[in-house]
Chains A and B, each alone.
Chain A
Amino acid sequence: MKLSELNKGDHAIITNIGNDEALKGRLFSFGITKGAAISIEACSLGRQTVEILADDTLIGLRMSEAQKIEVEMQIDEKMLEEKK
C-alpha cells in the first residue's frame, strides 16, 4: 500500500521509496530508507500534505510525494487490545 493511503495515527514500515533520486536523497538525509518505521502525525486540510514521525524527527511531505512511497501497515497494538 502507499504512504498516501494511510490515515492519522497509523503506523507503518517503509518497503520501497521508488526511483525519484531527489526524493530518495532528501529522505535519506533525514535517516529514512527502506525498513524505517513511521507513523502519521497529521494531515492538512484536503489531504494536501502529511506529517510523519520517523526516528524522532517530524517531517512534512506533500501527498504527491507520499504516493511514490510504498509501505506496509503495522497493526496498532492498542487497537488489538481494544478488540479483545
Chain B
Amino acid sequence: MDTIKVVLAGQPNVGKSMLINTMSGSNSLKVGNFSGVTVEKTEVSFHHDSHTLEMVDLPGTYSIGGFTQEEKVAHNYLLNEEYDVIVNVLDSTHLQRNLLLTLELLKLNKKMVLALNMADELKKEGLEIDVKQIEAIVGVPVVLVSANSGEGVEELLHAIHESFDSKRRRSSNIVYSEVFEEEIFELSSFLEAKGFKLRDLSSREIALRILLEDKHLYEEIHTHPIMIELQPRIVAALEHIYTHHETKNMVDIKANEYIAIARGIRMETVKSKKKKELKNRTQKIDAILLNKFIGIPIFLFMMWGLFQLTFEIGSIPMEWIDAAIGAYGDWIGSLIPHDATRSLVVDGIIAGVGAVLLFLPNIIILYIGITLLETTGYMSRVAFLLDGFFHKFGLHGKSFIPLVTGFGCSVPAYMSTRTLKSEKDRLITLFIIGFMSCGAKMPVYVLFVGVFFSPQEAGNILFLIYIAGAFLGLIMAKALRLFVFKGEAEPFVMEMPKYRMPSFSLVWHTVYNKARSYLKKAGTFILAASMLIWFASTYPQQPLFESEFSAKIEAAGDNAVLVKSLENELKLKKLENSYLGQIGKATEPIFEPLGFDWRMTVALETGLAAKEVVVSTLGVLYAIGDEVDEGTVSLQEQLRANISFASAMAFIVFVMIYLPCLAASMVFAKEAGGYKYLAYLFVFTTLTAWILSFITYRVLV
C-alpha cells in the first residue's frame, strides 16, 4: 500500500487541526480558537482509498519567513523534510490575507492542494467563491471544505490522491504589477534567446526569482557565464522597479506585490450576495467585551463565575464518588483474608487513587470553562484587554494564553509560550506559569478549604487562592524583568479572531481527552505512587512494639476505651518508625517553622512527583494513623482534628508556589533551553514558597 505524506500548512486559526480530525475521524488533536494551539507538529495516519495517509499538522504561520519559534518549526519542516503533498488550508472568509502564505508556499515548487475551509461560514456571510477561477490562477487544485460540517472533505481527499499521482503541477497564471511583468518579459526573453536552463524552472520563473532577489537562485547562477550579460540587465530592471515602487527595500516591494496579487485574486473570485452590514456580529460583541470600562469587569466576573461553578457544582457528584469509594473499599476489604494484602489494597491503592478520583468533577468543569474561552475566541480579547496591565509587569499580552492554560495544566502551558517571539518574554512567562495553580493542585485546595471554611465561603476562598497566585506571579515577573531578564519587549500585534459558537463535539472531545489523561494518570502513576507510599509507611515492621502493645492490650482486658487508645498509639508508633516516617522526621526541621508536621512534610515531598499525590499521600497517612476515634473515617475530619488553621493556610501557600510536577518540570527544562534553568526554577520557587509560607504561618498563628 502506498503511503502519501501530507503536510498541512496554513495561517493560525484557519481550522487545520479540526480539518485533520474530520478527515481522519480521530479526535486526538487539540483544537482551539486562538492563534498558536498547535505548537509542535502533530502527526496522524489513517487509510483512505487503498492509500495510507500520513498527515502532519504544522503550527499556524502567517508567513514562512517569520521569526517566532513556531514559524521556524513550519519553515524548517517545509524546506528540509521529505513529504509528498502540501495541503494549504485557508480561511475562505479571509481569503486575501490567507493567500499571502499561499503565494510563498507556491514558491516551494511542491505538489499542493488548496483547501478553502469554513465553507459553512462563507455561506452564512453571503459570500460566494469561484473555485475554478482560483484554480486557474494559482495552478493547483482548489477544494471548498468545511471541517465543521464535513462538506467537501471527500473531494479534498480525492484531490490529494490526484495531486500525488500527477507528474507535474500546472503552471500558475499569477500576474504581477505592470512594471514587474514588463521586466519579467524582458529578462525571460533574454534567457530564452540564450537557451539558458536551470533545474525544471521555466524562464519566467527564473526571471521572477532574479527580480525578487531569491538568494538561493543567485547562489546557483552566480558562477555561470551568463551572469556577465545578465548583470547589467538586472540592474536596469531593478532600477525601473524601484522608481515605480518609490523604495529600494526589496522586502517592502515584495510585500506590496504580494498584497496586490492577493487582493486581485479575491476581487476576481469572491462575490458578495448580501450587501455588507455596517457592523458584523463580531464587531458588535467586541463593542461590549472590549469596552473601555466594562471589558475588564466582565472578564473578572467570568473568571469568578468559573471558579464558583467549579466548586459549587463540582461538590455535588463529589459526595457520591466519596461514598462509592468508601463502600467499594469496605466491600473489597471484606473479600481479602490476608492482612497485609488487604491493607495494601484498601489503605494503599483505594485510599490513594480514590482521593484523586474524587476531584474529577471539579477538573472537568474547569476544563470546560477553559475550552470555552479558547474556542469562542474570547481568549485573544483577554490578551488585548490585559496587555497594557501585563506590560507594566514586564509581560506580553500574549503571555496570558500560556498563563491561563497553566490553570489547567502546566505542560501545555509551557509549550504554548512558543507563540512569544522575544526570548526574554518567553523565559519570564515560563518562570511564572507555576504560580498559576494547575488542575492537579486544586484537589489540595478543595480539600483544605472544605475543611477550614464553610461551604458558602469555599468558592470565594478558592477564587482568592487562584487570584493570589496569579498576582504573586505578576510581581515575580516584574522582579525577573527588572533584575534578571532585562531588555526590549516584543511588539504586540495580534489577530482578534471572529467569535464562533463553540461546537459541542469540539468541547466534548477536548474535555474528554483531558479527563481521560487525568484518569490515566490516576490509574498508572498515582496507583504506583500510592503503592510505594503505602509500602514506605507500613515497613519496616515493628515486631518489638507489636508484642509490647499486644501484651498491654491483653492486660487492659475488658476496658474498651483503654484498648482503643492503646491500639491507636501502636498505629502511630509504627507509622513514625516506617521509612516514610523516617524521611518525614528527618526533613521535619526544615518545615517546622512553617507549622507542618512530618506527615505534611512527606506529602509535599511526594508531591514533587505529581501534585495529585499530595492528597493521596495525606489520604494514606491519615487513614493508617487513625488516632482520633473510630467514628471519623473521612480524610477531611482527620485533617480538621490534626492540623491547625495557620498550618493549613501555610500549607496551601507552599503548594501554590513550589516546583511543579515531574512531567511539567521536564517540559520546562526543554522549553527554557536546559536543565540549568530547571535548577534556577527549583531554587526560585522553593525559596519563595518557604518564605511566604513562613510569613503566612507567623501571621495567623
Chain A residues within CB distance 8 Å of chain B: 20-31, 33-34, 41-46, 48-49, 51, 53, 55-65
Contacts of B258 in A (CB 8 A): 28
Q: Which of B65, B67, B259 contacts A33 (CB 8 A)?
A: B259
The docked-state distance in angstroms from the alpha carbon of A32 to that of B283 is 19
| Given known contacts A51-B290, A51-B384, A59 and B66 CB-to-CB distance under 8 angstroms | no
Across the interface, name the chain B residue whose C-beta is closest to A65: B491
* A31 close to B97 (CB less than 8 A): yes
Interface 1/0 per residue, B79-107 and A, CB below 8 Å? 00000000000000110110011000000
| Given known contacts A58-B496, A59-B493, A61-B492, A48 and B387 CB-to-CB distance under 8 angstroms | yes
The docked-state distance in angstroms from the alpha carbon of A79 to that of B686 is 61
Contacts of B283 in A (CB 8 A): 41, 53, 58
26 contacts across the A-B interface (CB closer than 8 A): A22-B490, A23-B491, A24-B251, A25-B63, A26-B62, A26-B493, A28-B255, A29-B63, A29-B66, A30-B62, A30-B97, A31-B96, A42-B286, A44-B292, A45-B292, A49-B492, A51-B286, A51-B384, A53-B283, A57-B97, A58-B286, A58-B496, A59-B494, A60-B493, A62-B387, A62-B397
| Given known contacts A30-B97, A57-B97, A60-B496, A25 and B65 CB-to-CB distance under 8 angstroms | yes
Contacts of A30 in B (CB 8 A): 62, 97, 493, 495
The docked-state distance in angstroms from the alpha carbon of A22 to that of B97 is 18
- Interface presence of B256 (CB below 8 A): yes
Across the interface, name the chain A residue whose C-beta is closest to B493: A26
| Given known contacts A26-B493, A29-B63, A34-B256, A42 and B291 CB-to-CB distance under 8 angstroms | yes
The docked-state distance in angstroms from the alpha carbon of A44 to that of B602 is 47
For A26, A27, A28, A29, the residue with the greatest tally of chain B CB atoms inside 10 Å of its CB is A29
- Interface presence of B295 (CB below 8 A): yes
- Interface presence of B517 (CB below 8 A): no
Q: Which of A28, A45, A53, A60 contacts B380 (CB 8 A)?
A: A60
The docked-state distance in angstroms from the alpha carbon of A15 to that of B367 is 45
* B97 close to A48 (CB less than 8 A): no
* B491 close to A49 (CB less than 8 A): no
Given pairs A29-B101, A42-B286, A45-B385, 20 additional interface contacts (CB within 8 A): A22-B491, A23-B493, A28-B258, A30-B493, A33-B255, A42-B384, A43-B292, A46-B388, A48-B387, A48-B389, A51-B286, A57-B495, A59-B494, A59-B496, A60-B387, A60-B493, A60-B496, A62-B387, A62-B388, A65-B492
Contacts of A42 in B (CB 8 A): 286-287, 290-292, 384
Contacts of A27 in B (CB 8 A): 493
The docked-state distance in angstroms from the alpha carbon of A39 to that of B497 is 16
- Interface presence of B282 (CB below 8 A): yes
| Given known contacts A31-B100, A51-B290, A51-B496, A60 and B397 CB-to-CB distance under 8 angstroms | yes
Contacts of A64 in B (CB 8 A): 491
Across the interface, name the chain A residue whose C-beta is closest to B246: A34
Interface 1/0 per residue, B242-281 and A, CB below 8 Å? 0000000001100110110010000000000000000000
- Interface presence of B234 (CB below 8 A): no
Q: Which of A20, A21, A41, A48 contacts B391 (CB 8 A)?
A: A48
Q: How far is the CB of B96 from chain A (nearest CB, A)?
A: 6
Contacts of B467 in A (CB 8 A): none
Contacts of A56 in B (CB 8 A): 93-94, 96
* B97 close to A44 (CB less than 8 A): no
Q: How far is the CB of A79 from chain B (nearest CB, A)?
A: 15
* B256 close to A33 (CB less than 8 A): yes
For A41, A63, A65, the residue with the greatest tally of chain B CB atoms inside 10 Å of its CB is A41
* B494 close to A60 (CB less than 8 A): yes
- Interface presence of B370 (CB below 8 A): no
Contacts of B646 in A (CB 8 A): none
- Interface presence of B296 (CB below 8 A): yes
* B388 close to A45 (CB less than 8 A): yes
- Interface presence of B383 (CB below 8 A): yes
Q: How far is the CB of A12 from chain B (nearest CB, A)?
A: 17
